[in-house]
A = this chain, B = another copy of it.
Amino acid sequence: MNIREVAQLAKVSTATVSRTINGSSKVTPETAERVRRAIEQLRFYPNTNARALGSGKSSLYGLIISDITNPFFPELVKSFEDIAVQHGQEVLVANTNYDPARMEICVSRMLQRKVDGVAIMTSEMDEKFIDEFNSRGIPLVFLDTGKPQKLISNIVIDYAAGVNAAVEHLIGFGHTSVGFISGPMSLASARIRRKAFVSSLKQKGVRLDPSMIEEGNHRVDGGHDAMARLLSKRIRPTAVLASNDMTAIGALGAIHERGLRVPEDISLAGFDDIEISSFTQPSLTTVKLSRNDVAKVAFRSLYDINVNAGKGGEYRIQPLLVVRRSTGPAPVKPGKR
Contact = CB atoms under 8 A, between A and B. Distances in A.
B69 A58 contact: no
A333 to B, nearest CB: 24
A69 B279 contact: no
A112 B220 contact: no
A75 B81 contact: no
Nearest to A53: B49
A276 B45 contact: no
Nearest to A58: B49
Interface of A: 43, 45-50, 52-53, 58, 68-69, 71, 73-75, 77-78, 81, 85, 90, 93, 95, 97, 105, 108-109, 111-114, 132, 135, 220-221, 224, 249-250, 252-253, 256, 275-276, 279-283
A90 to B, nearest CB: 7
B49 A78 contact: no
Given A69-B74, A279-B224, A49 B113 contact: yes
A45 B249 contact: no
Nearest to A251: B279
A50 B111 CA distance: 13
Given A73-B74, A85-B105, A220-B275, 15 more contacts: A47-B112, A48-B49, A49-B113, A68-B74, A68-B78, A69-B71, A220-B276, A221-B279, A224-B279, A249-B279, A250-B279, A252-B279, A253-B280, A256-B282, A276-B276
28 contacts: A43-B135, A45-B108, A47-B112, A47-B114, A48-B112, A48-B114, A49-B50, A49-B52, A49-B113, A50-B53, A53-B53, A68-B74, A69-B71, A69-B74, A69-B75, A71-B74, A74-B74, A81-B95, A93-B93, A249-B276, A249-B279, A250-B279, A252-B279, A252-B281, A253-B280, A256-B282, A276-B276, A280-B281
A162 to B, nearest CB: 23
A114 B2 CA distance: 12
A267 B47 CA distance: 54
Contact of A253 (B68, B113, B250, B279): B279
Contacts of A112: 45-48
A279 B75 contact: no
In this complex, the member of A71, A253, A279, A281 whose beta carbon has the largest number of chain B beta carbons within 10 angstroms is A279
A330 to B, nearest CB: 22
Nearest to A223: B279
Query: What 7 A-B pairs come out closest when comparing CB atoms?
Result: A45-B111, A49-B49, A49-B52, A68-B74, A48-B112, A253-B279, A49-B53
Nearest to A221: B279
Contacts of A275: 69, 220
Contacts of A252: 279, 281
A108 to B, nearest CB: 7
Contacts of A111: 45
A52 B105 CA distance: 19
